[in-house]
Structure 1
C-alpha cells in the first residue's frame, strides 16, 4: 500500500505542470548530463577494449610471445630445446632465432636495423609476418643472400625487390687499450621482399634465413642464440616462459616475454582506461548530484502537500520513497538513453571516425607511427553493466538527502503558516 502510494505521488509530482521552470531545467540538465556521461564512458571503454584486442590479435601475431636467449654461449641442439619446450601443455609452437644489431647501406645512406635470422618454415608457426609481405614472397627468403625488409626501411633507402644492399655487422674481437676499432664486416645482399605491418617495426626489422645469419655471426648449423615460443594465452606468457626456462637446466638463459618488449603499449592503454573511467565517472557524479538541487526545490515547493500527507497518516518511509523514486527516474532515464546512444556509437565507431576523417581531410591515427591506422572498437558486456550500475547507484545516493529532508517537515508549523 505504502509503495503504491509512493509510486503514485512520484508520478504525479514528476509530471506536474505546476513545477517551476528553474526546477524543470535543473531536472532536465541532470538527465542530460547522466546520459552524456554514460554515453561517452561506453564509447571510450569500447575504444580501449578495441585497442587491447588489436594489440593481442595483430601486434602480438608477429612479436614473439616469449624468447629464451642463452647467456654465456650459443644455444646448441636447438631442436631438442624446442621439443622440450613443446612438452609444456601451454606452449603451442617454437622456432630458433639468431639476432643482432646491424646497419644497412645503400650508396651514401645508412639505416640502423635489427637483424633476425629465422627458420622459414618454423617461423610461420610462431609469427604471422609472412601475411604482411606486400612485395616479393616470404619463401624467397630461402634464396642465397636474400633479405626481407620493412617498408619503412625500403622507403628510407629507396629500395625495392631485386635491389642490392650492403649489410654491415660489427666484427667481434677483443680490444686492447689504444687499439682502433676493427672495420665492420660487409655482406652484399639482395632485397627479396618487403613487409608492411605499421609502426616502428617497419622502420627497424629485417629478416634473413637462419643458415645465412649463422654464417654471418660465425655460428655452426646447430648453434643459435635462442628460441622463440608461442603460447596459448598472451597474458600468461611471463609465467609460462619461467616454467619452460626452469625445465631447460643445461644453460642459463635470459627470459623475455612480450610484456618486456611491447608491454608499455598495454600499460599505456590500461592507464588511459583508468584515468578516463575516473574522469567520466566524475562527470556522471556531477550530473547525478544535480538531482539533489532538483529534489530540494521540489521538497520546498511541496511542503504543504507533505504536511497534509503526514497529517493524514502517511509514514515518513512513504514520503521518503516518493522523492527517491522521483529523483531516481531522472537517473534511470539518463542511463537508458546514454546506454542506447553509447552502444550505437561504439558499434559504429570505426565507420564514424572514418567519416569524420574524410569530412575534415585528416587522419587521427597514422599507420607509419602506430601499428594501426583506424580507431578500433570492441563492446564488452561487463563494462556496460558496470557503467549502468555506477550511474544508477550515484543517482540513488543523490536522492537520499533531499528525500530525508522531506520527512522532517513539521505539519503544525507548515499548516499554521498557510
Structure 2
C-alpha cells in the first residue's frame, strides 16, 4: 500500500529496535507516562463525578432548588408565577411548604434543627429511604415527625416517642409573659438518606407547621420548585421578570459553597494529574531531540535524495505522534479496564474504603475521548521543536567527513 515518504520513514524510525538504548528507554517512558496519565486522570474523574452525582442526588433532592416567598404577592400574581414556572421544561414539581429553625428536645438531648414541612408529600429521597415507620401517618395525623437515623440516635428516640419542638422566632403571650411557641411531636418515621442534611433536618406536614407558626392562610406559604437538574436554576431565574424574582431564594445560597468546593477539588486533582502528561511531553521532546542528533547523517542523506525541509520535519513529527497515539490507546484501554472493575480491584487488594459500600463510579466516554484527544494534541506540540531542529540540518556540514 502506498504511503507518503514522511509517514513511511517516521513509522520505520518509531518501530526500529536498534539504536541508542537510552533513546529507546526515554521513548518507552514517554509512552508509559501518557498511558499512566490517562488511566489515572480518567479514574479519578470518574470517581469524583460519581461522588458529585451522589451528593447531588442525596442532598439536592431534599431541599428546594428555588423558593419563592408568597406573603407579599396577590392571588393573581401567585397564579401567574406558578403558571409561568409550569411552562419551564426544567421544572418537574411545584408545591407549597413551610420551614422553620427550631429547637428539638428529647429526654436525653437538645439540638437545633431545620424543620421542613411540605403540604403534599415528603421529598422523594426521604420517602424512598424510610427504614422504620410510615410516611402516611405524617399527613393523616397532626404533629408527626420523620427524622433521620442519625438524629434518632443523637436524641435517643424511636417510633412512637415524643420530642418537644420549639420555634424561637414565633412567640405567644402567656401569664408568664411572651414565650416561644412549642409543641410535642411524635416520631412516626425514621429514614437514612446518606446526605449531610441528615444531621440537622426533620420533616413534618405543612399543616402541622402552619398551625404551630400561627399562620392562618395556606396561600401565604412559600412555594418550592424542584428542577430536573438543580444546576439549571440560573436558566429558570433568567426566564422570570424582575417582579417575579422578588423574594426568591436559590439553593446555592445554602449549599452552593459545598458544590463549589467539590468542583474546585475536581479541577485541582485534574491539574495535578495532568502534570503526568507534562512529564511525558518532556520525555517526547528529549527522545526526539536525541534521535535527531543521532540520525543527522541519515537526515542529510535523505535531503540529498530530494526530501524537502518540511518532509524531514514531518518524519520526526510522525515519530513523536506515534508515541502519543500508542500511549493514548494503551491508556484509554487501561482506564476502561480499571474504572469498570474498580470496586472489584479494591476488594481484591483488600481496600474497603467505605465498608461494604462501593465507590460511586460514572463512566463518561465523552470525558475519556476528551482526555485522549488532549494527550494526542500535547504529543503533537511536543514534536514541533525537534522537527524544526531536524529540518535545519545542513547536509554539506554533516557529510563533510563521511
Cα distance change, pair 80–303 in 1 and its aligned pair in 2 (3 A): closer
Q: Secondary structure at the match of 1:219?
A: coil
Q: Offset of 1:389 from its aligned partner? A: 1.6
TM-superposition CA deviations, 1:229-270 (whole Å, max 9, x none): 12344322234246457575xxx9521122222222332232
Q: SS at 1:123's partner residue? A: coil
Native 8 Å contact 2:71 2:220 kept in 1: no
**What is the SS of the residue equivalent to 1:62?**
coil
Q: Which residue of 2 aligns with 1:370?
A: none
- The Cα shift of 1:169 comes to 2.3
| Partner of residue 379, structure 1 | 363
1:327-338 to 2 correspondences below 5 Å? 327-338=320-331
Structure 1 residues 240 and 306: alpha-carbon distance in aligned structure 2, compared to 1, 3 A threshold: closer
Alignment of 1:158 onto 2:142: no
Q: Aligned-pair distance for 1:350?
A: 4.4
Tell me which of 194, 197, 204 is aligned to 1:208.
204
3-state DSSP of counterpart to 1:376: coil
Compared with structure 1, are the counterparts of its residues 17 and 336 closer, same or farther at alpha carbon in structure 2 (3 Å cutoff)? Answer: closer
Partners in 1 of 2:77 and 2:210 — Cα distance?
Answer: 13
Q: Secondary structure at the match of 1:291?
A: helix
CA distance in 1, matches of 2:163, 2:312: 85
Q: State the distance in 1 between where 2:169 and 2:367 align.
A: 54
Q: Is the 8 A contact 1:27 1:294 kept in 2?
A: yes
Residue 133 of structure 1 pairs with residue 130 of structure 2: yes
In the other structure, the counterpart of 2:49 is 49
3-state SS in 2 of match to 1:161: coil
Give yes or no for contact 2:132–2:191 (8 Å, CA) kept in 1: yes
Residue 146, structure 1, aligned to residue 144, structure 2: yes
CA distance in 1, matches of 2:205, 2:347: 39
* Residues 96 and 224, structure 1, Cα contact 8 Å, conserved in 2: no
How far residue 395 of structure 1 moved from its aligned partner, in angstroms, is 0.8
> CA 1:389 to 1:258, structure 2 compared with 1: closer, same or farther past 3 Å?
same
**1:4-403 → structure 2 map (5 Å cutoff):** 4-70=4-70, 84=83, 87-90=86-89, 91-119=91-119, 122-124=120-122, 127-141=124-138, 142-170=140-168, 172-173=170-171, 182-241=178-237, 243=239, 253-353=246-346, 359-360=350-351, 362-363=353-354, 374-403=358-387
Distance across 1 between alignment mates of 2:76 and 2:134: 29
Q: 1:244 to 1:318 in 2, by over 3 A?
A: closer
CA–CA distance in 1 between the matches of 2:108 and 2:179? 17
**Cα distance in 1 between the residues matched to 2:25 and 2:121:** 64
Q: Give the conservation status (yes or no) of the 8 Å contact 1:94–1:227.
A: yes
Structure 1 residues 243 and 330, CA gap change in structure 2 (3 angstroms)? closer
Greater CA drift, 19-28 or 182-191: 182-191
1:136: how far off? 0.4
Measured after TM superposition, the shift of residue 277 of structure 1 is 2.8
Per the TM alignment, residue 312 of structure 1 is displaced from its structure 2 partner at its CA by: 2.5
Aligned-residue Cα RMSD (Å) equals 3.2
Q: CA deviation at 1:362?
A: 4.4
Question: Are the counterparts in 1 of residues 69 and 222 from structure 2 also a CA contact under 8 Å?
Answer: yes
Q: Distance in 2 between matches of 1:47 and 1:307?
A: 51
Structure 1 stretch 47-56 or stretch 284-293: which is displaced more?
47-56
- C-alpha distance after superposition, 1:168-192 (max 9, x if no partner): 22263599xxxx9944333222111
The whole-number CA distance in structure 1 between the counterparts of 2:75 and 2:329 is 63
> Normalized against structure 1, the TM-score is what?
0.84
Q: CA deviation at 1:305?
A: 1.6
CA deviations over 1:104-125 (Å, ceiling 9, x no partner): 1112411111112222xx235x
Structure 1 alignment gaps of length 5 or more: 367-372
Q: Which residue of 1 aligns with 2:394?
A: 410
1:172–1:232: structure 2 CA closer, same or farther, 3 Å change rule? Answer: closer
- Structure 1 window deviating more from structure 2 (130-139 vs 319-328): it is 319-328
TM-score (norm 2): 0.87
**Shift of the alpha carbon at 1:220?**
1.7
CA–CA distance in structure 2, aligned partners of residues 243 and 387 of structure 1: 35
SS in 2 for 1:289: helix
Task: Give the direction of change, closer, same or farther, for the CA distance of 1:400–1:3 in structure 2 (3 Å limit).
Answer: farther
Given that residues 34 and 331 in structure 2 are in contact (C-alpha distance below 8 angstroms), is that contact kept between their aligned partners in structure 1? Answer: yes
